[in-house]
Amino acid sequence: MGLIFAAILACGAYFLFFEKKPVSVPYKTFYNEVSEGKISEATIFPDKINFKYAGGENVFSTENPDSPNLKEFLLLNNIQFKEEKDFSEIISTVLDVVFYVIFFAVIIFAFRKFISPNTFKTVRKTGVKFSDIVGMENLKKDMMQIADIMKNPATYKAKGIRMPKGILLEGAPGNGKTLFARALAGEAKVNFIPAKATDFESMFMAIGPAKVKLLFAKARHHTPCIVFIDEFDGIGTRRNYSGSAIETENTRIVTALLNELDGFTPHDRILVLAATNSRAALDEALIRPGRFDAKYTVPFPDLETREKLIEKYSAGKKSSCDIKLLAKNFNGFSCAQIESVINRAALIANQQNREEFSAQDIQEALKEI
C-alpha cells in the first residue's frame, strides 16, 4: 500500500516539476501560422490550444478563443486536431452522470413503491358469515341472493339474470359496512380484495388512476372475487373541472373507475362493493344503474338489534345493567359506538376494583365518546 502511494506521489511530482511545459505564444501568431501552413497538429482544450510546427517536436500553447469557427478554420487549413477535456470538466461530467443515475433510480423506486403489485392484498377466506352479523335481516336477505348468484352464475344466466356489476352500501361510520362486505365474500366463497380511498392517494400525479387499473387487473386475475372499496366518497366525488391539481387527479381517478366498470362483462364474475358515508357526494355517472345496480343503506341498529349487540359485547363481562334499558339509551348509536361504550364502562369498573360495571359506569363512558 505504501509503495502504491509513493508511486502516485512520484508521478504527480514528475508531471508537476519535470514535465516540459509548452511555450506560450499569442493567438494572433497561431492564427497567422495556421493560415501559412506552418502548423501540423493541434490539441484543443477548454482554455487553451496546444500545437506543433511541421517537422518539429516541441509543443507550443495559445489561448482558446472559444470561437464557433475555430474547428472549421483548422479543417480548411488541413490541420489535424483533437479535443481534450480537462480534469474539472471530466469531474463535472461524472457528477452529472451520477446525479441522473440517482434521480432516475429514485423515480423508479418511487413508482415501484407506489404502484407495487402487492399494493392490494387478495384475501382467500374472510372467515366471516352473515351469521356473525347481529340483526339487519332484510339486508342480509338481499345479500344472500347476491352470494347465491356468485356461487351459481350459470343457473341465473339460464333465467336471464346477470350478476350486478356493483353494489353501493351507504351508512354512518361504525354500522358494519366493511363487515357486510367480508361476510358476502365469505358466504359466496370467493376471493376478497379490499381497498380504501387513501390507497389511491399519492404525491405523484397519475399514480391514482394507475392504481385503479392495478386493482381491477388483479381482480380479473383472481375471479370470482369481490372488490371492496371503503371510503368510496374519498375518490368517487363529483368531478370538478376547476383546473387545480387535486381536482384534476380526482377527475382522472373517477374516469379510470368509469372505464374499468364499463369494461366488465357478465362472465367476469367480479363484483364491486363500495362503501360510503355520503352518497350525495358521489359522481352521478359513477353510480348510475349499469355500474352500481343496487344501492343499500346500512342503518343504525333498531331496538331489538341493540339488545342483541349489548348481549354480544357484554359476553365475558359482568354487569348489573338492565339490557332493555341500555338498549333504549343507545338509540341512534352505531354498532361500533355501543361496543366502545360497553368496553369503556368495563374498564372504569376494573379501575375501581369492581367486577361488575353499572349504569353509572355507562354514563361516565358516554362522556368520553
At residue 233, φ and ψ (nearest 5 deg) are -70, -10
- Asked whether the beta carbons of 281 and 238 are under 8 A apart, the reply is yes
CATH C-level class of 303-366? mainly alpha
Tell me the average pLDDT of the chain: 82
For residue range 50-90, what is the model confidence (pLDDT) as tens digits? 998 888 888 999 998 888 888 888 888 988 888 877 666 66
pTM (predicted TM-score): 0.65
Task: Cell 343504525: give the residue.
Answer: 300
Check residue 367 and give its pLDDT. 82
Check residue 117 and give its pLDDT. 61
Query: The domain 16-84: what is its CATH number?
Result: 3.30.720.210
- Return the CATH number of 130-297, one of 3.40.50.1980, 3.40.50.300, 1.20.1250.20, 3.40.50.2000: 3.40.50.300
Assign residue 221 a region (left: φ > 0; alpha: ψ between -120 and 50; beta: otherwise): alpha
283/286 Cα distance (integer angstroms): 5
* Strand ranges for the chain from DSSP E: 23-24, 39-44, 48-53, 60-63, 80-83, 166-170, 191-196, 225-230, 270-276, 294-297, 318-319, 356-357
Task: Cell 347481529: give the residue.
Answer: 134
For residue range 203-224, what is the model confidence (pLDDT) as tens digits? 667 778 888 888 888 888 888 9
Helix (H) or strand (E) holding 319: strand 318-319
> How does residue 16 score in pLDDT terms, banded at 50, 70 and 90?
very low
Count of C-beta atoms within a 10 Å radius of residue 30: 20
**Would you kindly state where each structural domain of the chain is located, as residue ranges?**
16-84, 86-114, 130-297, 303-366
